[in-house]
Amino acid sequence: MKRQKKIIPKIILSGFLLLVFVQNSFAQETTETLPPTATSAETEENLQPAAENAELSLNNNADAVCYPGVYQIDPEVCNPLGPSEYLTKLAATGLSYPALPFSAAKLDESLSIVSYQYAKLNIESWESAPLYGSAEDAIAGTNPINTLPAGGIRYVSYNNRVDANNGHYVRSKNGSWLRASPAAVSTSTLGRTFTQTPSQYFGWVVESTYPYRKADYNGGINETNWYNREDVVPVLDVIEANNTTWFQIGEDEWFDQSHFRAAFFNTTPPEGIDGGRWIEVDLHQQVTMVYENYQLVFAALVATGVEPFYTQPGIFQIYKKIEAENMTGAFETDKSDFYYLEDVPFILYYDQARAFHGAYWRAWYGYEQSHGCVNMSIGDAHWLYNWADNGDYVYVHDPSGITPTDPSYYGAGGA
């Protein structure tokens, strides 16, 4: 009899604890973060925290403290204090514990390997480069047969090389010899692939630094975690403050727009695009995103047209794929912006002379730099080249509204 009296209270206590556990599990399920559905136009103006001032409701008639968890609904049978209060406040600002999984696969670095060797002309931009018929003439600097015009960006693709007199001399693909320095081509990639659309936005760090503690330049620096340029991290919250966009990437960790670029993906096709397959270019964030079957499958940091050679907004379709070709041109009246680039790889033309392509001469992405094309790392461009077909839609837009939209502003464009 005494033994039964001891067992009965244990049964009651076990039942109570089971009830609390079930309610806690239910409360956590109701707070799962769903995939973002905001349109691209809304992302940078209307994104707000899930609940800016979440207040916990205390039930004074309950004697128990809740099992640690998230309680955005009053559990009634217990008071969500201590760890529960802390976790609930985190959830109200978009953070979860444990953190939601973020699965983004890096590209195979073999996609960055090309069969070309590149060399850069290391002379002043205002100097033309003499071309020679033989290595001997190039080394001696005699009997030039032609010249390459002056310009800021000049690279050749070469198939032979001779080193002499502390200099490098190469034979370009057109057969001419010239003095140029062999260029190392980066095999790093910035793109990420996905088997399904992520549950939250993400982005790239574009300046190595510590994050801010708050969305405020005067809020102090959080020296807990150092972030390197090109690190990819999930975005937990986005707000506008102090004349910039702020991205929360962790507890007390914020980056401003000058240090970060975000992939504000939207799996709803823009008006004018039929079906679930298209490429999006966000000119403000400098990010290209690829959709298939209404899912995000790829995203990469890019470099688009710099003022006044903007990348034209609009809806286009890929009309030609070329594995590699030369690109050359100039748009300033004095030709000071002349560029000469041999064997530019993995080209997808979609808007006159504007195209997606690999840019072996670029070291940084996430900034406007081109003459209108969408520049990508070689590996990223290779992935997109393999994925894309002629006729695929391309949606180019600038949520900031800075880029001109009047078609009369634009010419054919260039690299």
**What is the DSSP annotation of 200-267?**
S-EEEE-S-BPPBSSSSTTS-B--S--B-TT-EEE--EEEEETTEEEEEEETTEEEETTTEEEE----
Mean pLDDT across the chain: 85
Of the given ranges (100-104, 272-276, 323-327, 368-372), which has the lowest mean pLDDT? 100-104
Of the given ranges (4-13, 68-77, 319-328), which has the lowest mean pLDDT? 4-13
Helix, strand, coil percentages in the chain from 3-state DSSP, rounded to 5: 15, 35, 50
CATH 2.40.440.10, the chain: domain bounds: 100-114+185-415
pLDDT for the residue numbered 98: 58
- Of the pLDDT bands very low, low, confident and very high (cuts 50, 70, 90), residue 90 is low
pLDDT for the residue numbered 24: 45
- Per CATH, domain 100-114+185-415 is 2.40.440.10: yes
Q: What would the pLDDT profile of 194-251 be if each residue is shown by its tens digit? A: 999 998 999 999 999 999 999 999 999 999 999 999 999 999 999 999 899 999 999 8
- Of the pLDDT bands very low, low, confident and very high (cuts 50, 70, 90), residue 81 is confident
Q: Which of 372, 399, 379 is nearest to 257 (CA)?
A: 399
> What CA–CA distances, in Å, run from 154 to 361, 374, 413?
9, 18, 18
In whole angstroms, what is the distance from residue 99 CA to residue 254 CA? Answer: 16
Residue 20, pLDDT > 50, answer no
What is the dihedral sign for C-alpha 205, 207, 211, 216?
negative
What is the dihedral sign for C-alpha 282, 287, 292, 297?
negative
Q: What would the pLDDT profile of 131-149 be if each residue is shown by its tens digit? A: 999 999 999 999 999 999 9
pLDDT for the residue numbered 223: 96
pLDDT for the residue numbered 58: 53
In whole angstroms, what is the distance from residue 390 CA to residue 234 CA? Answer: 32
What is the dihedral sign for C-alpha 82, 83, 88, 94?
positive
pLDDT for the residue numbered 332: 83
First to last CA, the chain: 90
- Most confident of the ranges 7-11, 30-34, 309-313: 309-313
- Of the pLDDT bands very low, low, confident and very high (cuts 50, 70, 90), residue 10 is very low
Q: What would the pLDDT profile of 305-354 be if each residue is shown by its tens digit? A: 999 999 999 999 999 999 999 999 988 878 888 999 999 999 999 999 99
DSSP 8-state secondary structure symbol assigned to residue 112: G
Q: What would the pLDDT profile of 155-186 be if each residue is shown by its tens digit? A: 999 999 999 988 999 999 989 999 999 999 88
- Most confident of the ranges 33-37, 48-52, 70-74, 262-266: 262-266
pLDDT for the residue numbered 198: 93
Answer whether 85's CB lies under 8 Å from 276's CB.
no
- Give mean pLDDT, residues 73-89: 73
